[in-house]
Amino acid sequence: MTDNYTVAGATGVRVVPEERSEFGGGHIPAPRTETEATRGRGRPSLGGQGRSPQVTFRAPPALRAMAEEQAARDGKTVSQLAREAFEMYLASKEGTNGAG
């Protein structure tokens, strides 16, 4: 990247170094490096490459709160906790051919 400017937020306004102080100085990030620009966005894949499929479901507020509390106690995210619970449930059903 040869231009010496920063794109400010969602507006896409180009801000040159002299103008950065008007917008809070160090709060505007420097331009991304080539490595950062070519790196994919978001979290890394759980499978090592490509995108990880998502599973979405609804839960009552009390269940969500219990999951958040347990995840915090375990030092995990709710997603990690749900993934582990899903894996354990499916592993318990192996060999039963769904007749469990």
Q: What is the pLDDT of residues 23-69, one digit of tens each?
A: 555 566 666 655 555 556 666 777 777 778 888 989 999 999 999 99
Q: Which of 5-19, 33-47, 83-97 has the highest mean pLDDT?
A: 83-97
What is the pLDDT at residue 1?
Answer: 47
pLDDT band at 91 (very low <50, low <70, confident <90, very high): very high
Q: What is the DSSP secondary structure assignment for residue 39, as one 8-state letter?
A: S
Residue 21 near residue 9, CB atoms below 8 Å: no
Torsion angles phi and psi, residue 86, rounded to 5:
-65, -45
- The secondary structure element, H or E, covering residue 88 is helix 78-93
